[in-house]
């Protein structure tokens, strides 16, 4: 582990006063820690600083600024630290008891500046330490030393003598008292190792606290590097290609078993994130794999993401989709029953034992690890935590030691305490939410496609933007990923190529676990009267507009049948299906054919809960700075025929509809969202998005 502190970067962080400067430097140190997954994983760990703060009475008191609960260390800003009255916090340590609810109330009532955030559960730990800056992290190397039966002795041997070991205590008042006792025993200690809870370092400045963390972790890594005495041996030999191929078939099945029980339960959809690399999850295929993998998490902080344990699928049938579905369905039911029994053993609330507790990770020997989340961010957190846990547990076993788990009652208390549950992934109350949904959009790099992708992301959907490889798709990828790095991907896909379409769908499954909606938007245009329309030009449109629609519909149908949770197809049609224009025969005819294919799909896909609908726009010229490809083809001819410039042509089309409305890509996207959010039980319908053209009204 090496220090990433840059004095030149830090020098630019000065604030208006001493306290503001301290907060900015604390945020910088916290960013550096949060950028290293092996130091702090997804909301685990926290940081603080102490500085004098004045009030309106010209009085000065010492304030503790501590990271807000649940915030990612790598994403905090100075305003994400909750400022509290330090003297009052220290007095709380002498109370005979302090529940989570009472502690949260006390912290909220003694802020020294307004904050809408909840202070960390470990606020009192930071308060009891006298140092100006304190960093608490969960380094993998420290956990690998401490989470073993002889952990205290190994930590003492591996780290500097001035590092004090603190026996496990639950976060909050108990842990703060344990830290106070440790500092009384060893007032000159340079750092603390909290058993099964990580590392605490400090310093008079943010830089010194940060570099103390780096120094202690480096010592731990050096000790681990020379400690391997035995090796884990895999019992399964599968290639990366075999794992990927199996997941393409099984991912949608996993998603359906863990997803909604009803096709309209949009808010219950889940997203998957699979780790299939044998180097990362090789432990699953070893004789020791099951026992180690099902042991408790590395630290109780991870319970809120991954539960007490993942689901282990014994002897999975990976080559028979039907048998795998049945096996997984039973395993999930058994897991839920066992989890309810665990909750009942420790809870005085009978209602708590009646809730659903689906697994947040599934471990599948011969395949890999599949993490489950309400959205891509949740699923990624679970994957990262589980992969790190498998790696550390393997490292402990290979060093000749035995992994040490916390007692079940400690796990329960931490998992269901108020502070932890506040950080747990929450279900949305919006029954039309798309936060767990995945949509594939064809022809996404055009104006209408871009507008649809942006609207889907705005609604919380995960979006796979597909189009031909090239600069337009690259530009769209950069725009969407910059906006939503976890919920947006771009996939090069040629709708006229069956293999390309199948590969495109598979890439989306690999990214999110499955697909819930397909927006068939790809299409091209050509202007020529019938007397001059060549067959080659007609066939080019036919390949994209008709055959492309057929290939996408066919692949969508196969996917939805496999996934078994319903779904949606929305075809971006055109007013020309109902009111064709002279000189526009190739486009009108081929789009009419694609429209008819969608209507047939509404009949064929309905038995497995899939809705197929159409939107029929007219005269969408652009989306922001992106010009419509269709109008780039049609516009020059129309302007010439009417003696208009571009602005005049737009005004002409606006004036000809009943509402005198300019139709935009955002309007088309709104119609698509109407169908995808299941506002009504509708299939086989067409929404005109044209401002009102009587001759184009669907009949």
Which residues are part of the catalytic machinery? 587
**Which class for 666: exposed (0-12), middle (13-18), buried (19 or more C-beta within 10 A)?**
middle
Euclidean distance between CA atoms 359 and 331, whole angstroms = 10
Q: Which of 586, 574, 590, 587 is closest to 531 using CA atoms?
A: 586
DSSP assignment of 161-228, as one string? TTEEEE----TTHHHHHHHHHHHHH-TT-SEEEETTTEEEEEESSHHHHHHHHHHHHHHHHHHHHT--
Residue 608, CA distances (Å) to 97, 446, 562, 670, 678 in order: 56, 31, 10, 25, 16
Count the neighbouring beta carbons within 10 Å of the beta carbon of residue 568: 27
Q: Residue 386 in 3-state DSSP?
A: helix
Q: Which residues contact 109 (CB under 8 A, 6 or more apart)?
A: none
- Answer for the pair 507, 499: CB distance below 8 angstroms, yes or no: no
> Where do we find the tokens 């319903």?
566
**Which class for 214: exposed (0-12), middle (13-18), buried (19 or more C-beta within 10 A)?**
buried
Q: Residue 493 in 3-state DSSP?
A: coil
Count the neighbouring beta carbons within 10 Å of the beta carbon of residue 275: 17
- Answer for the pair 199, 216: CB distance below 8 angstroms, yes or no: yes
- Answer for the pair 238, 271: CB distance below 8 angstroms, yes or no: no
Helical packing angle, 665-676 and 447-458, nearest 10°: 50
Q: Which of 157, 179, 154 is closest to 166 using CA atoms?
A: 179
DSSP assignment of 593-652, as one string? HHHHHHHHHHHHHGGGTEEEEEEEE----EETTEEPHHHHHHHHHHHHHHT--HHHHHHH
Count the neighbouring beta carbons within 10 Å of the beta carbon of residue 507: 19
Euclidean distance between CA atoms 556 and 363, whole angstroms = 28
- Answer for the pair 457, 483: CB distance below 8 angstroms, yes or no: yes
Q: Between β-strands 311-312 and 361-364, what pairing exists: parallel, antiparallel or unpaired?
A: parallel
Euclidean distance between CA atoms 46 and 74, whole angstroms = 11
Q: Which of 84, 192, 203 is closest to 134 using CA atoms?
A: 203
CA end-to-end span of the chain, whole Å?
A: 69
**At CB < 8 A and 24+ separation, what contacts does 591-596 make?**
591/523, 591/545, 593/542, 593/545, 593/546, 593/549, 594/520, 594/523, 594/545, 594/546, 594/548, 594/549, 595/571, 595/686
Q: Which residues contact 52 (CB under 8 A, 6 or more apart)?
A: 18, 19, 60, 61, 62, 63
Q: Which residues contact 187 (CB under 8 A, 6 or more apart)?
A: none
Euclidean distance between CA atoms 455 and 669, whole angstroms = 6
Classify 530 in phi/psi space as left (phi over 0), alpha (psi -120 to 50) or beta: alpha
Euclidean distance between CA atoms 196 and 265, whole angstroms = 39
For the chain, what percentages of helix, strand and coil (3-state, to nearest 5) are there? 50, 15, 35
Euclidean distance between CA atoms 147 and 397, whole angstroms = 11
- Answer for the pair 617, 575: CB distance below 8 angstroms, yes or no: yes
């Amino acid at each position: 582990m090496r220090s990433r502190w840059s004095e030149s970067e830090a020098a630019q962080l000065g604030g208006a006063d001493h306290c503001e400067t301290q907060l900015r430097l604390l945020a910088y140190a916290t960013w550096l820690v949060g950028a290293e997954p092996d130091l702090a994983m997804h909301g685990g760990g926290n940081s603080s600083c102490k500085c004098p703060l004045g009030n309106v009475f010209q009085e000065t008191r010492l304030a503790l600024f501590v990271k807000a609960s649940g915030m990612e260390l790598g994403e905090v800003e100075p305003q994400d630290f909750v400022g509290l009255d330090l003297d009052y916090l220290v007095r709380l340590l002498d109370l005979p008891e302090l529940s989570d609810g009472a502690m949260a109330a006390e912290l909220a009532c003694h802020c020294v500046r307004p904050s809408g955030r909840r202070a960390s559960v470990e606020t009192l730990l930071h308060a009891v330490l006298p140092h100006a800056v304190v960093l608490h992290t969960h380094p993998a190397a420290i956990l690998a030393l401490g989470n073993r039966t002889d952990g205290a002795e190994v930590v003492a041997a591996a780290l500097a003598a001035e590092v004090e070991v603190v026996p496990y205590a639950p976060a909050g008042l108990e842990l703060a008292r344990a830290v106070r006792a440790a500092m009384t025993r060893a007032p000159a200690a340079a750092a603390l190792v909290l058993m099964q809870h990580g590392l605490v370092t400090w310093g008079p400045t943010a830089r010194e606290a940060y570099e103390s963390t780096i120094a202690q972790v480096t010592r731990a890594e050096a000790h681990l590097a020379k400690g391997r005495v035995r090796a884990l041996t895999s019992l399964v030999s599968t290639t990366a290609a075999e794992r990927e191929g199996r997941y393409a078939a099984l991912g949608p099945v996993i998603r359906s078993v863990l997803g909604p029980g009803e096709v309209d339960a949009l808010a219950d959809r889940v997203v998957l994130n699979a780790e299939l690399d044998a180097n990362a999850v090789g432990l699953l295929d070893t004789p020791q794999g099951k026992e180690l993998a099902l042991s408790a998490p590395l630290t109780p902080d991870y319970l809120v993401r991954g539960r007490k344990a993942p689901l282990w699928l014994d002897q999975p049938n990976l080559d028979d989709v039907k048998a795998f579905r049945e096996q997984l369905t039973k395993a999930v039911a058994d897991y839920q029953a066992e989890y309810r029994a665990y909750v009942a053993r420790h809870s005085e609330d009978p209602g708590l034992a009646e809730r659903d507790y689906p697994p947040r990770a599934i471990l599948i020997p011969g395949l890999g690890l599949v993490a489950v989340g309400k959205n891509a961010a949740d699923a990624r957190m679970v994957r990262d935590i589980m992969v790190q846990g498998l790696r550390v547990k393997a490292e402990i076993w290979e060093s000749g030691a035995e992994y040490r788990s916390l007692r079940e009652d400690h796990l329960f208390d931490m998992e269901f305490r108020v502070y932890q549950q506040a950080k747990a992934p929450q279900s949305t109350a919006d029954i039309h939410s798309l936060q767990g949904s995945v949509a594939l959009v064809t022809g996404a790099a055009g104006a209408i496609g871009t507008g649809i992708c942006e609207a889907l992301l705005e609604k919380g959907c995960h979006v796979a933007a597909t189009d031909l490889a090239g600069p337009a798709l690259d530009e769209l990828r950069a725009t969407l990923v910059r906006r939503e790095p976890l919920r947006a991907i771009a996939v090069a896909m040629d709708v006229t190529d069956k293999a390309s379409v199948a590969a495109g769908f598979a890439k989306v499954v690999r990214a999110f676990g499955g697909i819930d909606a397909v927006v068939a938007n790809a299409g091209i245009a050509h202007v020529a009267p019938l007397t001059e329309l060549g067959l080659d030009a007609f066939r080019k449109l036919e390949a994209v507009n008709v055959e492309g629609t057929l290939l996408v519909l066919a692949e969508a149908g196969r996917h939805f049948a496999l996934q078994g949770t319903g779904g949606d197809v929305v075809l971006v049609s055109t007013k020309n299906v109902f009111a064709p224009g002279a000189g526009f025969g190739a486009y009108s005819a081929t789009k009419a054919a694609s429209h008819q294919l969608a209507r047939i799909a509404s009949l064929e896909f309905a038995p497995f809960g899939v809705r197929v609908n159409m939107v029929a726009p007219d005269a969408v010229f652009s989306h922001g700075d992106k010009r419509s490809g269709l109008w780039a083809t049609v516009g020059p001819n129309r302007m010439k025929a009417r003696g208009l410039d571009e602005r005049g042509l737009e005004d002409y089309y606006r004036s000809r509809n009943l509402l005198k409305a300019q139709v935009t890509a955002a309007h088309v996207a709104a119609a698509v969202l109407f169908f995808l959010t299941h506002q009504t039980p509708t299939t086989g319908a067409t929404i005109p998005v044209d401002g009102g053209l009587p001759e184009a009204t669907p009949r």
